[in-house]
Every structure is written in structure tokens, then in C-alpha cells.
A = this chain, B = another copy of it.
Amino acid sequence: MVLLSGGQDSTTCLAWALKRFARVHTLAIDYGQRHRIELEAASEIARMAGVAHALVPCDSFRALGGNALTGDEAVTAGVRAENQLPNTFVPGRNLIFLTLAAAFAYQRGSANLVTGVCETDYSGYPDCRDETMTALQESLRRGMDAPFVIHTPLMRLSKADTVRLAQDLGALPLLAHSHTCYNGLIPPCGACPACQLRAKGFAEAGIADPLLERLARA
């Protein structure tokens, strides 16, 4: 069960899972992303990979970050966080996402959860850390009486390492459809932090971004 956001990291994780497991399923969480294009990218990438894909809604985050909590300031912070960094918006968001993925996996007889969380890029975010994933895995195992394993193939990788891994896995055609830009633009704006981090990773790996190549051909 791969948590697929439609971004570069989770798309690479999908390719990793396809090499490792005979049966792969993807899951996207619709938590009210400002840019629906992310969910469309996830769906398209799953289709290209030939795997079953599910979209699970979760309307809790808007309420937690919005009126139910601290009002306008939180809403602003939330909107920003939804499009920039995980976990600024609602602490522990990855805990929720992975618990939903586990519930979904449980009902399909799967115990393997794959997520693109990474300490390297987001070391300030406690729910991306390896020690959090270890504790969460234990919590899921006990809470559902099932032998869950949370796989985090990107945990220690730099963005350049992730790009190299994607190439090794033959995932560049999938990455050509991944979405990264915080501003929700196609072609990507190139200026936002997400675009810049992506560009830096491809540059350092010495590999052309297949998304930009695809758009240039289009």
C-alpha cells in the first residue's frame, strides 16, 4: 500500500514498491489540497503504473487548522503549509495519513505500507523522522493486531539520491507526470521552493527532469 501524493518522492516510492512486491495498491488522501492537480497527477501515475488506486477523503485538517481552532491566522498558515511543507498545517499529519493507509491495507489483507517521508529534506518535522515511523509502526501493529511494516525507502536520501534511485528503478517516465510546484502550475513556476528543490536534485544527479522534457516536447 503506497501513499501516493502525486509528487516526486511518493512516485519514486511507487516504483520502489513495484520492484519489491508482487501486488501494489496506491492510496491518495484528499485533505482539501488547494491544487487538485496533485490528486490528478497521483491518479494518472497509478494508471500508468497499472496499479489499483484509491482516493480517501479526510476533511479533518481544514477544521483543525481553521475555524475550529484559532481562526484566520491558522487558516493562513494552513493554506501556506498545504502547499509547502508537510506538518506545519496540522502536527502529526503523517500519523493520520499512515493510519488511514493502514486501515485500508488491513481490510485488503496487506501489511506493507510505503511512504516517501524523508529526514533529509524535512528534518525539522517530527512526523517525518525515522524514530516517529518506528513508534507509529508499533502503534499500528498493536492497534490493529496486524504485522504492519512501514517502508521508508527515501528516509536517508538527499534529493539527488532520490533522483538517482528513480532512474535506477526506471521511474523517470512516471516522474514525467509527477507534480511538485507549490503554485500548482504546469509548466511548473520554477521559482517556488518546491520547484527549486526539485531542480537542484536533478541538477546534482546530472539527470534531466523528465517532466520538463515532456512539457518541452508537448
- Residues of A bordering B, CB below 8 Å: 54-60, 63-64, 68-70, 74, 90-96, 99-100, 102-104, 106-108, 126-127, 129, 131-132, 135-136, 138-146
CA distance A127 to B106 in the complex (A): 14
Query: With A63-B56, A95-B99, A143-B91 given, is the CB distance from A68 to B132 under 8 Å?
Result: no
Cross-chain contact B95 with A139 (CB below 8 angstroms): yes
The residue in A60, A63, A140 that gathers the most chain B C-beta atoms within 10 A of its C-beta is A60
Cross-chain contact A135 with B139 (CB below 8 angstroms): yes
CA distance A138 to B70 in the complex (A): 26
The contact sample of 21 A-B pairs, CB cut-off 8 A, is A54-B68, A56-B68, A59-B59, A69-B107, A74-B107, A90-B107, A92-B103, A92-B106, A92-B144, A94-B143, A95-B143, A126-B142, A126-B143, A131-B142, A132-B139, A135-B141, A135-B142, A135-B143, A136-B139, A138-B139, A139-B139
Query: With A56-B68, A70-B107 given, is the CB distance from A143 to B92 under 8 Å?
Result: yes
CA distance A132 to B103 in the complex (A): 15
The residue in A57, A96, A143 that gathers the most chain B C-beta atoms within 10 A of its C-beta is A143
Cross-chain contact A60 with B100 (CB below 8 angstroms): yes
The residue in A58, A59, A91, A102 that gathers the most chain B C-beta atoms within 10 A of its C-beta is A91
Q: How far is the CB of A47 from chain B (nearest CB, A)?
A: 17
Query: With A96-B99, A107-B69 given, is the CB distance from A91 to B60 under 8 Å?
Result: no
The residue in A54, A64, A92, A93 that gathers the most chain B C-beta atoms within 10 A of its C-beta is A92
Residues on the B chain within 8 Å of A144, using CB: 91-92, 95, 126-127
Which listed residue (B57, B132, B142) contacts A60, Cβ 8 A? B57
Q: How far is the CB of A136 from chain B (nearest CB, A)?
A: 5
Residues on the B chain within 8 Å of A138, using CB: 135, 138-139
CA distance A129 to B138 in the complex (A): 13
Query: With A63-B57, A68-B56 given, is the CB distance from A96 to B91 under 8 Å?
Result: no
